[in-house]
Structures are given as C-alpha cells and as structure tokens.
C-alpha cells in the first residue's frame, strides 16, 4: 500500500479546539473509466474516528463521493492545551491509518 499520511493540527483557543485533518487518499469511487474504458477499482475511506485523550468524540461514516485528499475540520469544546488528539481512518480495502497530535 502507498504511504497515505494524515496531517493533523489541533489549535486551542477560548472556545475549545479547532482540529484539522488532511487525509492523503485517492478516494476512487469505482465509477470512473480509464483510457481503455475499464472501470477503476473502488478505493475510498469508509469511516473516520476522532478521539480526545483516548475517548471517542465522533465517528464519521463516509463514502465514495468525497474528493481525493479530503480536509476535515471540527470545532470541539472542552479541549485544553496538551490534550491528545487522535484521528483514525479505515478504507474499503481494509487499510487503516492513525495520527496523534498534542493540542496546542
């Protein structure tokens, strides 16, 4: 599998934290045709989980309609500087990636 990365940033302010995650992934829907007219194999993220200090705060179910290399952002109240923020994604081929950052 290719090296699909997650770029993760959590910036704390008076409202909590703004968490941004850039997920490197082709997000191939399976509907596109290549030059020879064959369908490209489907390969897309199916779910994303956000955890703060190892407690799941959201699970997002996604599908093939999201663009390649999607950027997600969440505003989460109650996050403090130093808290651990973790993003995990899984795709339809069974691959998964995890990234952890400290809120700042």
Per-residue pLDDT of the chain (104 residues; tens, 9 = 90+): 578 999 999 999 999 999 999 999 999 998 888 888 898 899 999 999 999 999 999 999 999 999 999 999 999 999 999 999 999 999 999 999 999 999 99
pTM above 0.85? yes
| 69: phi then psi, degrees, rounded to nearest 5 | 50, 60
* Helices and strands (H, E) in the chain, number of each type: 0, 7
The span from the first CA to the last CA of the chain, in angstroms, equals: 32
Decide: 27 and 67 in contact? Cβ < 8 Å.
Answer: yes
Task: List all residues 6 or more positions away from 27 whose beta carbon is below 8 Å from its beta carbon.
Answer: 43, 44, 45, 64, 66, 67, 68, 69, 70
d(CA 52, CA 29): 30
Q: Which helix (H) or strand (E) holds 84?
A: strand 84-91
């Amino acid at each position: 599998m290719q090296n699909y990365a997650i770029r993760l940033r959590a910036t704390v302010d008076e409202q909590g934290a703004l968490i941004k995650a850039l997920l490197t992934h082709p997000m191939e829907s399976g509907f596109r045709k290549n030059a020879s007219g064959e369908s490209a194999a489907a390969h897309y993220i199916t779910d994303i989980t956000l955890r703060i200090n190892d407690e799941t705060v959201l699970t997002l179910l996604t599908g093939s309609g999201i663009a390649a290399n999607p950027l997600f952002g969440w505003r989460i109240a109650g996050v403090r500087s130093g808290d651990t923020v973790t993003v995990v994604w899984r795709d339809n081929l069974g691959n998964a990636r995890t990234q952890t950052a400290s809120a700042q």
